[in-house]
C-alpha cells in the first residue's frame, strides 16, 4: 500500500531518483542476513495520509535465521523498493509479522507519475492488516493523475479458512500478473498452493473484473513495507488501517521473489 486515497504527499524522497530499468527474474533469500543491495534500496521519507510514520533505512535490518526484518515503532517504519522495474510474472514472499492493530505489512508493485513522469498510478497489493483480523487484503489501484478519479478493486480474503495466520507462523503468499489476469495465492496449512482471488481484464460488470483502460500494464518497481497509520478518524468504517497504539514490532521476510514470464 503506497497510499490509499490521495498522493498529495505520497511520493517518498527517493522515488525521484534516476530512471528505473526493466529487469528479469530474481530471488533474494536474505541468506547474507541482509538484502541484496544490487536489487533493493531502503526508503527514506514520509508518505501522506493515512501513513503515520517516516521510513528510515535503519529500520530495515537482519533477523535471526537468515530473514530480513522491517521494523516499526511509534513514528518510524521501514520500506524496501527495487531499483529495477518488473512486468508480468509472479511476485511472492514468505513473511510473518507482529500482531499489532493499526499496522500494515505488504508486498506490492507500484508505479506513478512520481516515478515515471506521465505514467498513471497503478498498484497491485498484498497487505496484511491485524486490525481486520486474520485476512489477506488484495487490491488493484488506478489513478490517471493527481486530479483524476481514484479507482480501487479491493477484496479481503479470510486466511483462517486455509488454516494459516501470519501473526502465529510464516505464510507464503503472492500473485501472478499477466496481460489479462491477476491471481493471488497462498500456501495453506498443508503447504499446498491455493488461488484465493482472480481479477480479469474486462468491462463486464458481473464479474471480478477491471476495464482495460485501468489495467496495470507497465513495468513497475516492487515494494515491501511495514508501517502504521496516523489514527485520523480511525473509527470510520472505511479508515485504513484503524487505530495504532504506539507498540513496536516487525515483519520478517524469509525471501522475496519475482519470476518473469
Q: What is the pLDDT of residue 13?
A: 35
Mean pLDDT of the chain: 90
Contact (Cβ atoms closer than 8 angstroms) between residue 194 and residue 187: yes
Average pLDDT of 10-37? 66
How high is the pLDDT of residue 8? Answer: 36
Alpha carbons 82 and 235: distance in angstroms, whole number: 34
CATH architecture of 28-260: Sandwich (2.60)
pLDDT of residue 222: 98
Q: What is the pLDDT of residues 133-152, one digit of tens each?
A: 999 999 999 999 989 999 99
Counting residues of the chain whose pLDDT is more than 90, the rounded percentage is 79
- Domain residue extents for the chain: 28-260
Which runs of E-coded beta strand occur in the chain? Answer: 26-28, 40-42, 45-46, 54-55, 60-63, 67-72, 76-82, 89-97, 103-111, 121-128, 135-143, 151-158, 171-177, 181-187, 193-201, 209-210, 222-228, 249-260
Question: Tell me: the pLDDT tens digits for 75-116?
Answer: 999 999 999 999 999 999 999 999 999 999 999 999 999 888
Segment 26-50 shows an average pLDDT of 91
pTM of the model: 0.91
pLDDT in tens, 147-165: 999 999 999 999 999 999 9
In this model, does residue 17 exceed pLDDT 70? Answer: no
What was the pLDDT predicted at 65? Answer: 79
Beta bridge partners of 97: 251
- From CA 1, how far away is CA 162, in angstroms rounded? 24
Could you tell me the pLDDT band of residue 261, with boundaries at 50, 70 and 90?
confident
What is the CB neighbour count within 10 angstroms for residue 200? 15
C-alpha cell read off for 37: 543491495
Amino acid at each position: 500500500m503506497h497510499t490509499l486515497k490521495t498522493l498529495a504527499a505520497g511520493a517518498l524522497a527517493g522515488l525521484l531518483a534516476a530512471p528505473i530499468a526493466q529487469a528479469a527474474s530474481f530471488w533474494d533469500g536474505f541468506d547474507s542476513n541482509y538484502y541484496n543491495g544490487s536489487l533493493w534500496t531502503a526508503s527514506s521519507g514520509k508518505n501522506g495520509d493515512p501513513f503515520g510514520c517516516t521510513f528510515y533505512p535503519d529500520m530495515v535490518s537482519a533477523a535471526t535465521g537468515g530473514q530480513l526484518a522491517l521494523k516499526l515503532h511509534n513514528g518510524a517504519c521501514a520500506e524496501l523498493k527495487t531499483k529495477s522495474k518488473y512486468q508480468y510474472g509472479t511476485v511472492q514472499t514468505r513473511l510473518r509479522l507482529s500482531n499489532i492493530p493499526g499496522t500494515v505489512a505488504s508486498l506490492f508493485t507500484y508505479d506513478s507519475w512520481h516515478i515515471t513522469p506521465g505514467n498513471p498510478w497503478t498498484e497491485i497489493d498484498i497487505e496484511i492488516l491485524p486490525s481486520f483480523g486474520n485476512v489477506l487484503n488484495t487490491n488493484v489501484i488506478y489513478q490517471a493523475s493527481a486530479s483524476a478519479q481514484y479507482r480501487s478493486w479491493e477484496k479481503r480474503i479470510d486466511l483462517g479458512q486455509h488454516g494459516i495466520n501470519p501473526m502465529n507462523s510464516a505464510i507464503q503468499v503472492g500473485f501472478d500478473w499477466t496481460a489479462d489476469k491477476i491471481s493471488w495465492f497462498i500456501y495453506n496449512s498443508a503447504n499446498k498452493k491455493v488461488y484465493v482471488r482472480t481479477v480479469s481484464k474486462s468491462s463486464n460488470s458481473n464479474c471480478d473484473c477491471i476495464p482495460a483502460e485501468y489495467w496495470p500494464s507497465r513495468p513497475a518497481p516492487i515494494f515491501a513495507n511495514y508501517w502504521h497509520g496516523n489514527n485520523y478518524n480511525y473509527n470510520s468504517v472505511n479508515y485504513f488501517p484503524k487505530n495504532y497504539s504506539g507498540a513496536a514490532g516487525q515483519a520478517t521476510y524469509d525471501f522475496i521473489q519475482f519470476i518473469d514470464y
